[in-house]
Structure 1
Amino acid sequence: MNTPIPGIEDAQTLAQAIVDTIHEPLLVLDARLRVLAASRAFYDIFRVDPEHTMGCLLYDLGDGQWNIPALRLLLETIIPEKTAMDGFEVDHDFPGVGPRTMLLNARKVIYETSANTTILLAFTDVTARRAIEREKAELLERTEELLRQKQMLLQEMQHRVANSLQIIASILLIKARAVTSEETRHHLKDAHQRVLSVAEVQSQLHASGGVDQIEVGPYLTKLCDSLSASMIGETQAMLVRVEADHGLIGSDKAVSMGLIVTELVINAIKYAFPTNRADALVLVRYESTGDAWALIVQDNGIGADTPVPSAHGGLGGAIVEALVKQLDAHMTLSTSPGMTVSIRHTGEGVLGSATSPAQAMS
C-alpha cells in the first residue's frame, strides 16, 4: 500500500505547524520580503496579529517598526550574496515592546524545482544577556580602578614609611655622635642599625611590587646584596651568597624572614671574621616543600667564638627569637665549623635533610 504524497495545502499546514512549535520569533519571507508565515512567538513578543502580518511587506509591519537600516543591510545586501548569516546584532526601540537587542539568523532557501526563493528569518532576544555583560564590564572597570587606587595608596604609604625610617635613623646617629657615654653611644648606634635593617627590608618588599606572594630567592638576594654593599668594606674579601629554590611566601611572612636574615647576616659580618680571609663566606640558604620550609644562615668563620644570636646574646638575638616564634618555626645552632643557624617550619610537607655546614661551605 502506497503512502499518499501530501498536497500543497497539506505541506503548507505542516510547515505552519513546524513554525508555530518554535519558541523564538521566526518569519518566512518570499523573494520580495513579504511574510509567508510567522511563528506564534513572533506575534506574542512583537504584539502584532496575523491579519496585519500575513502577505505584508516586512518593513511595513507594526507601523514600520521593522524598517531598520541594519535589517535592510542584512536582507538586501548580505543575504543575496552569502545566502546565510548568523548572529547579526540589531539594537532597536520597538513600539509597545521597548528597546531590544536582537540577534538575527537568516537563511536563503533555493528550490531545485522552482525559481522562487524563500528567506527564513529567526530572532533571538539577547537584551538581558547584553545588560548582564555591560554590568560585568562596568563592575570589572570599577574593580580595576579600585585596585589602581589601592596601589597608589600603598606606594604612598611605603614612601612615607621609608622617609620616616630614614629620619629616625638620622636622629639616632646624630644623638650617638653627641653623647659622651660610650655605652649609650653603642646602644644608639645599635638602634640606628636596627632601623636601617627595617628600612632595607621594607625597600626590598617595595621593589617586589607589593604583591601578596613574594618569590623568596630574588627577595633574599637583593636584600643580601644591599647588606653586603653597606656593611662590607672595600678591604674585606668577604662574600655573602644566597641559594634558594623557587618557593613563594606571603608578604607578611617575608617581612619577618627578611629581618631574621638581616640580623643573622649582620651578626656574621661583624663577628665571624675578626681578621681578613680570602675565603670568608656567609651563605643564606632557603628550601621549601609544600608548606614546609627551612632557612639556614651559615658562615665559615671562627665558629664557637662568634657571639651566639640568642636572647642571651643581646637585642639582636631577642629580635630573631621573637620573629622565629612569629613564623611558627624553631631554631637550632651549630658552631662546628663556623656558625650555622637553622630555622625550620615543618608545615604539612617533609623537607629532606639539610646539607651539612662543611658541605655547604665547600
Structure 2
Amino acid sequence: MMMEFQNLQDAERLALAVVNTIHDPLLVLDSKFCVLAASRSFYETFHVVPEHTIGRFLFSLGNGQWDIPALRQLLETIIPAQTAMDGFEVEAVFPSRGHRIMVLNARQVVFEDKANAMILLAFADVTVGRAIQREKDALLRRTEELLLQKEILLQEMQHRVANSLQIIASILLLKARIVTSEETRRDLHDAHQRLMSVAEVQRHLHVTHGIDQILVGSYLSTLCDSLGASMIRDAQPIDITTIGDAGQIGSDQAVSLGLIVTELVINAIKYAFPVFQADAQVLVNYTSSGADWSLIVADNGIGKKGDPATRAGGGLGTAIVQALAKQLGARIDISNNVTGTGISITYTGITSTVGPA
C-alpha cells in the first residue's frame, strides 16, 4: 500500500532521510546532471561541504575527477535510453582521500508528468577489496611459482638419486668381479640386487610423482613386470602373475610395500627353483577392504625341500621385510610346504606382529 503525503514537503523530507540513511555515498542529479541533493556519507567520504556540492555540475565537482568521457557518455546517452547503469568503475585521486577505486551505479527516475527526471547516482568504494584481491592474486602466483620450483627440485633430486644408485650398483659389480672370496662375491651380488630393487621402486613411483594416492594393483603389476624382465633367465622361465583390486594407499606406504614385494619376488626367483621346473610361477596378490589390506607373495617352488631361512628371504632379506612390515604396522605369516612357499603381509589397523613361519 503506497503512503499518501499531505504535502510535497513531507515527501521531500522522507526522501532526504532515506538518502542520508544509505551507507554508500549517493547523489541526486537533475536531467542536466546538476546536484540536487547529496547523502551525508557523500560529504563524509569525499570531504566536501554542501555549498561546494549542491547546484554544482557533476563533472565539475572536486578537482574534476568525475569528468570522465566514458562516464559522461553513459549518463548522457545510455541512462535516458535504458534508465540504469551498473558497475561503472572510476579510478582517480580524490582530495583528502588519495587514490581510490569507485564503482558507480545509476538509476533514472521519471515522474508522471515526464517533464522532469532525476538520476540517482550511488558510489561504492572498492579500493580495499581490490587491494585484497591483488594480494590474493599475488600470493596465488607466488604459490604457483613455489610449487613449480618444488617440482623442478624434486625432479632434480630424483634424477640425482637414480644416478647415485646406478653408480653404487656399478661399483658393487666391479668389486664382485675382482674379489677372490666366493662368499664375499655372493654378498656383493646380493647387495647389488637389493640396491637395484630400491632403484626399481624409486623409478616406478617417479612416474606417479605428485599423486598422493597410488593404485596398488597397477603399481605392483608394473613393478613385477620390470623385475621379471631384468631377472628371469631363459634357462628357467618363471611366470609372475600379479592380482590386485582397486585399492589405493598413500605414496609413502607404496614405497615400503614396493620394497617388500621386490625383496620377496627377487628371493622367489633366486631360490624357489634351483632346478628346472616347467610350470614355475610366482603369484603376487593384493586385496583390500577399507583401510585394511593383505599382500601375498607365493610360489610353487621347492618349498620345504629348500632351506627355510633362505626361502623366507635369508637373514638379511628377512630383516628387511620385517623392518618394512613393522614400519607399515603389518603382520607377516610364512607358509612353507611341499607345494611351495607363501608369505603374507596383513594390515588390519591393529598393531601387528610377525607370525610363525
TM-score of the two chains, using structure 1 as the length reference: 0.88
Residue aligned with 1:6, SS: coil
| Secondary structure in structure 2 of the residue aligned to 1:339 | strand
Could you say which residue in structure 2 is the equivalent of 1:28? 28
Question: Compared with structure 1, are the counterparts of its residues 213 and 4 closer, same or farther at alpha carbon in structure 2 (3 Å cutoff)?
Answer: closer
**Alignment check: 8 A CA contact 2:284 2:295 kept:** yes
Q: What residue is the counterpart of 1:171 in the other structure? A: 171
8 Å Cα contact 2:101-2:127 kept in structure 1: yes
Distance 2:278 2:86 in 1: 77
Which amino acid in the other structure matches residue 328 of structure 1?
G
Q: CA deviation at 1:313?
A: 2.4
Q: Deviations over 1:256-285 (max 9, x none)?
A: 111100011111222223455554332222
Shift of 1:169: 0.6
State whether residues 296 and 345 of structure 2, in contact with CA within 8 Å, keep that contact through their aligned partners in structure 1: yes
Matches within 5 A, 1:200-215: 200-215=200-215
Q: What is residue 353 of structure 2 aligned with on the other side?
A: none
CA–CA distance in structure 1, aligned partners of residues 101 and 75 of structure 2: 18
Runs of at least 5 residues in structure 1 that lack an aligned partner in the other structure: 349-362
The amino acid of 1:138's aligned partner reads A
Q: Return the alpha-carbon distance in structure 2 between the equivalents of residues 308 and 77 of structure 1.
A: 95
CA contact (8 A) 1:298 1:338 kept: yes
Q: Which residue of 2 aligns with 1:229?
A: 229
Q: Match for 1:338 among 337, 340, 355?
A: 340
TM-score if structure 2 supplies the norm length?
Answer: 0.89
**Deviation for aligned residue 1:233:** 2.5
Task: Please give the alpha-carbon distance, in whole angstroms, between the structure 1 residues aligned to 2:208 and 2:332.
Answer: 27
1:235 Cα deviation from its structure 2 partner: 5.5
Distance in 1 separating the partners of 2:313 and 2:343: 15
1:353 maps to what in 2? none
1:355: which partner in 2? none
* Corresponding residue for residue 156 of structure 1: 156
1:159-189 Cα distance to aligned partner (Å, 9 max, x none) = 1111111011111111111122221111111
Give the letter aligned to residue 324 of structure 2.
L
1:185 alignment counterpart: 185
Pair 68,278 (structure 1): closer, same or farther in 2 beyond 3 Å: farther
Q: Give distance in 1, aligned partners of 2:224 and 2:122.
A: 69
Distance 2:114 2:84 in 1: 19
Q: Alignment RMSD, CA only?
A: 2.3
Q: Is the contact made by 2:5 and 2:11 (CA closer than 8 Å) also made in structure 1?
A: no
Q: Read off the aligned partner of 2:92 and give its amino acid letter.
A: H
3-state SS of 2:260 partner: helix
Residues 4-28 of structure 1, C-alpha deviations (whole Å, 9 max, x = no match): 7432232222211111111110111
Letter in 2 for 1:339: T
C-alpha displacement at 1:210, in angstroms? 4.2
CA distance in 2, matches of 1:153, 1:315: 34
Contact 2:283 2:298 in 1 (8 A): yes
Q: How far 1:214 moved relative to its partner?
A: 2.8
Q: Secondary structure at the residue paired with 1:63? A: coil
Residue 322 (structure 1) aligns with? 323
Whether 1:144 and 2:149 are equivalent positions in the alignment is no
**Change over 3 Å in CA distance of 1:246–1:89 after alignment to 2:** farther
Quick one: which amino acid aligns to residue 285 of structure 1?
Answer: N
- Please tell me whether the aligned partners of residues 285 and 297 of structure 1 are also in contact (alpha carbons under 8 angstroms): yes
1:90: which partner in 2? Answer: 90
The whole-number CA distance in structure 2 between the counterparts of 1:206 and 1:43 is 64
What amino acid maps onto 2:248 in structure 1?
A: L
Q: 1:195 to 1:4 in 2, by over 3 A?
A: closer
Number of residue pairs matched by the alignment: 347
Deviations, residues 226-249 of structure 1 (Å, cap 9, x unaligned)? 101101224644322322233332
Judging changes above 3 Å, is the alpha-carbon distance between structure 1 residues 283 and 24 closer, same or farther for their aligned structure 2 residues?
A: same
Query: What are the residue-to-residue correspondences of 1:17-166 with 2, within 5 Å?
Result: 17-166=17-166
How far, CA to CA, are the matches of 2:305 and 2:130 in structure 1?
74
Q: Percent identity of the aligned residues?
A: 64
- Greater CA drift, 100-109 or 136-145: 100-109
Following TM superposition, by how much is the alpha carbon of 1:309 offset from its aligned partner in structure 2, in angstroms? 6.2
- Structure 1 counterpart of 2:346, one-letter code: R
CA drift of 1:117 comes to: 2.2
CA contact (8 A) 2:267 2:313 kept: no
Equivalent residue letter for 1:177? R
Is contact 1:65-1:95 (8 Å) kept? no
Q: Does residue 1:217 correspond to 2:204, yes or no? A: no
For structure 2, the 5+ residue unaligned runs are 351-357
Give SS of 2:131's match. helix
Distance 1:305 1:99, change over 3 A: farther
Q: In 2, distance between residues paired with 1:30 and 1:281?
A: 94
